[in-house]
């Protein structure tokens, strides 16, 4: 028996171990790729992460809160009065601010994290407000008590942040009817929100096209002590009639 023949059996376990390691590495790569693809699809079509860049929705949402947005609603359902929605700037709502240069490694990391919904680099390019009027609604501010009315019904807006000692937000008179395919939105921090009221001179006249809406915010995920569902306060609008039956 030659030396080569005698050595062959001894090398077989080494070969099997090498093949086993390669198979394990391949399986790990496949699992990671599948996880990334699933995360990307969920982020693109189901839920998406945003952070709150301003105080316009206090006290429902606080600055730097992180939220999840349901992206299925714009595809399979309608928006209701009271929903809290994230939308792209309809034009002229946000100031133009130059983006600071960041190191390429930071940009690449942020981009990768955004693919799976762990980062929200475009939050500053979006706005978040509460839906007050849906297509056909007649929205007016304000009645003698300073209340907003929708289709003739005054709203008891328990979620609105008031100044100390105030019983209603500072009035900002308007009288509008929401066109088809649009929403009328206001911030809960009514005295500190550049919302539909303040953008009536823009091309969109303060209305938000439904096509611009990314989705409905439904849960606060960070900080942990604020974790929980976002209250839409649909009961505030329970007595509002449909536009065609409004008085």
Catalytic residue among 39, 49, 56, 192: 56
User: Residue 217: in which H helix or E strand, if any?
Assistant: strand 213-222
Question: Residue 55, preceding bond cis, omega within 30 degrees?
Answer: no
Distance CA 228, CA 89 (A): 27
* For the chain, counts of helices (H) and of strands (E): 3, 12
- Is 56 one of the catalytic residues? yes
The region, left, alpha or beta by phi > 0 then psi within -120 to 50, assigned to residue 165 is: left
Strand 148-150 relative to strand 138-141: parallel, antiparallel, unpaired?
antiparallel
Distance CA 115, CA 13 (A): 42
112 — phi, psi (to 5°)?
Answer: -60, -45
- Is 129 one of the catalytic residues? yes
Q: Is the dihedral of CA 207, 181, 159, 85 positive or negative?
A: negative
Catalytic residue among 129, 161, 182, 196: 129
Contact 243, 138 (CB under 8 A): yes
Joined together, the tokens standing for residue 118 give: 């762990």
Q: What DSSP designation does 35 have?
A: H
* Active site members: 56, 129
């Amino acid at each position: 028996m030659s030396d080569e023949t005698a050595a062959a059996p001894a090398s077989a376990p080494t070969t099997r171990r090498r093949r086993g390691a390669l198979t394990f590495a391949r399986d790990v790569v496949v699992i990671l790729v599948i996880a990334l693809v699933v995360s990307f699809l969920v982020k693109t079509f189901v839920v998406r992460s945003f952070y709150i860049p301003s105080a316009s929705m206090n006290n429902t949402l606080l600055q730097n809160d992180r939220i999840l947005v349901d992206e299925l609603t714009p595809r399979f359902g309608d928006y209701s009065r009271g929903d809290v929605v994230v939308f792209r700037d309809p034009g002229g709502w946000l100031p133009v601010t130059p983006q600071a240069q960041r190191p390429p490694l930071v940009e690449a990391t942020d981009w990768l994290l955004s693919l799976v919904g762990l980062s929200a680099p475009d939050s500053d390019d979006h706005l978040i407000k509460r839906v007050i009027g849906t297509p056909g609604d007649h929205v007016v501010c304000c009645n003698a008590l300073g209340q907003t009315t929708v289709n003739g019904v005054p709203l008891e807006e328990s979620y609105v942040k008031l100044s100390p000692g105030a019983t209603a937000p500072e009035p900002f008179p308007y009288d509008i009817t929401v066109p088809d395919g649009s929403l009328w939105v206001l911030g809960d921090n009514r005295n500190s929100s550049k919302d539909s009221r303040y953008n009536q001179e823009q091309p969109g006249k303060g209305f938000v096209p439904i096509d611009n809406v990314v989705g409905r915010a439904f849960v606060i995920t960070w900080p942990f002590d604020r974790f929980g569902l976002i209250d839409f306060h649909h009961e505030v609008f329970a007595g509002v009639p449909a536009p065609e039956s409004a008085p």
